[in-house]
Each structure stands twice: as C-alpha cells, then as structure tokens.
Amino acid sequence: MATLLLRSLLLLTLLQRNSANPLAAQKGNPGDTPHPTGRTRIIYRTVAPDDEYIYDETDESDPVPSQRPALTRELNPKLCDYDRCRDEQVPCELLSESSGCLCPGLSGPRVPPNPPELRSVVREGSAVVARWCSPASAVLHYRVTVRGGSPATFGERSRKGVLGQVEPGATVCVEALNAAGSSEKSCRAYEPPEDGDLALKAGLTGGALCLLLLLSLAAVLLWRRKARRKAESSSEGVGNPSYSKDGTM
C-alpha cells in the first residue's frame, strides 16, 4: 500500500513539471527536426551603376535568373581612321584615347619590329622619293639606304623619304627600328621611266605649248583688228568742219 502511494505521488509530481513547462514537452529530440535545405532565392534590383543583391533566407525556392533585368553597355566597335601608308599619320593610340575607336594589334616595344612595306621608288619633280607602309609593330624611326650612299633616318610618323638623285637600277631599302632592334629590310630597285615615255611626254608638252602660243597669237590679232575698226568708225563720224549742208562756208 505504501509503495503504491509513493508511485502515485511520483507520477503526480512528473505531470505537474510537464504542465509547468509545455515548451520542453514540445521540443523533443533535435535530431527529429529536418534541417532546412539551404537553398536561397536571390532577388535582383537595378541600381545605377551596379546591382543591389537582396537575399531572402526564408524562401527555399530556386533562384530565378530570368527576373534579373539585362544590363547592356554600349560598345563602340568603330575602327580608327588609321592608314599605315599615310605620311605623318597620327599614332593610333592617340586616336583611340580621343575617340574610343579600335586600333589594329601591334607587337610591343620589346620585340624587334616587322619589316615595313616599300611600295614605290619614283621620281617626283627633280628628286627620287621612296614611299612605304608601317608594320604592325612599335616603331621609333625608319632608316632608308641607297646602294652606294649613306643611310637616311626618318621619324616614326614618316611614310616617305626624299632621296635626291638616284642612279637607275640602284637598290633602295627601308627598315624599321625600335628599342629592341631593327627589322628586316624591304627593298626595291629604282627604275626610271623609259626613253620612249620621256619622248612621248616631251612631245605632248611641246604640242601643248605650241597650241597655247597659237591661241595667244590669234587673240592678239583679233584684238588689233577690233581696235582698227573702232578707230576708222570714229574718224568717219567726225567729218570735215569746213563744209556744211548748204555748201561752202
């Protein structure tokens, strides 16, 4: 009987403790509660100049990339007005800095330049002129040599060199130089116009001068003829003042 009474009191005491702390009864075993998946939804908002990322830790849905507005940046694919064969051409990097245009690729200053392209060696007036195009390399200056003569140096923006008098058949070469060294030479033989071409040009020039002289002579004769007619008409209009319509004065 005493044992039964003691068990009843113990059970009553346990019931009172559980009723005083209901959270303890509901807590249970931590291992029985499933862990969150950890999947996070990202909401994107456009805020100039960058994006603001807002994270919603309570949403377990997958991220929705399609909800992010596209941020486009205006690009300028226009090429620079840069001609490798133009004399005194402004360096392309300066054109790019001022307008944002695109330049062709160049090898660096620590690499010897590629050879320039010697395009022509022709007579212009009283001197022979060599013209070339720059290579796709960093260049400090150009050096032009003529067989049997001293080399001439031209600046990085030069695309032509006045050589003076050059013998027919002489080889003219141009090379590019920078801090790393020099390029291979690009050469061409100077071939003056043939004698037949010179004679034809001389004949055309002489014919043009003769035609101009004849036109000038014809113009002078026409002017003199008009002046003579004008003088004759003026003398006939004045007449002799000693006579009148009624006879002799």
Q: What is the mean pLDDT of residues 206-219?
A: 87
Residue 97 lies in a domain: yes
Residue 161 lies in a domain: yes
Q: What is the mean pLDDT of residues 225-239?
A: 72
pTM over 0.85: no
pLDDT band at residue 240 under the 50/70/90 scheme? low
Report the alpha-carbon distance of residue 206 to residue 16 in Å, rounded: 136
Residue 128 lies in a domain: yes
In our burial notation (b when 16+ CB lie closer than 10 A, e otherwise), range 236-247 reads eeeeeeeeeeee
Provide the CATH number for the domain around residue 153: 2.60.40.10
For 63-116, the pLDDT digits (tens) are 444 444 333 334 546 889 999 999 999 988 899 888 888 888 888 889 999 999
Residue 167 lies in a domain: yes
Domains contained in the chain, number: 1
Instruction: Using the predicted structure, report yes or no on whether residue 9 has a pLDDT greater than 50.
Output: yes
Residue 173 lies in a domain: yes
Instruction: Using the predicted structure, report yes or no on whether residue 197 has a pLDDT greater than 90.
Output: no
Is 72 in contact with 145 (CB distance < 8 Å)? Answer: no
User: For all residues of the chain together, what is the average pLDDT?
Assistant: 75
Residue 209 lies in a domain: no
Residue 77 lies in a domain: no
Residue 205 lies in a domain: no
Q: What is the mean pLDDT of residues 24-49?
A: 45
Q: Which domain holds residue 108?
A: 92-189
